[in-house]
Amino acid sequence: MTAVRIVIMCALLIAGVVPSTATSPHFEITIENGSPYFSPPIATVMTGTPIRWDNPTPTEHTITHDGCITDGPCAFDSGTMPPDGRYTVPSLPPGRYPYHCRVHPIMRGTVTVTNSAVPPQI
Ligand SMILES: [Cu+2]
């Protein structure tokens, strides 16, 4: 009976019926006060992996896809992230996503989303 219960719980989790807090695997990027400002500054994640930025600094930042300030499509823009704030992008289509902080344009990072287990050659 326990196995049946586990199967049902898994089905509910997959269906999103049961809210999951810490169970969702995500890729974590931490904002830092000094260069390179994002740790890691260059990240490669598998399609479907949520990407989360944590802001442990005492300063407000944004996570803004470069496309949001150019002609390109705007894939994500956090708005202002307060100290101890967090921003999660649930998933992105495969591609390369350079991003920056609107408050401090010197802060730059890149996320590459891939379907392949082997990171693309740059
Ligand atoms: Cu900033």
- The two tokens of residue 7 are 């199967």
How much distance in Å is there from the Cα of 17 to the middle of ligand 1? Answer: 36
How much distance in Å is there from the Cα of 107 to the middle of ligand 1? Answer: 6
How much distance in Å is there from the Cα of 60 to the middle of ligand 1? Answer: 6
Average pLDDT over residues 61-81: 96
Confidence band (pLDDT; 50, 70, 90) for 46?
very high
The predicted pLDDT at position 13 comes to 45
Is the model more confident about 72 or about 69?
A: 69
pTM: 0.76
CB 38 within 8 A of CB 29: yes
The domain segmentation of the chain, as residue ranges, is 24-114
Q: 24-114 belongs to which homologous superfamily? A: Cupredoxins -  blue copper proteins (2.60.40.420)
**Average pLDDT for the chain:** 85
Main-chain phi, psi angles of 114, to 5 degrees: -135, 150
How much distance in Å is there from the Cα of 101 to the middle of ligand 1? Answer: 5
* Sheet strands (E) in the chain: 27-31, 38-39, 42-46, 51-54, 64-65, 86-89, 95-100, 108-114
How much distance in Å is there from the Cα of 7 to the middle of ligand 1? Answer: 44
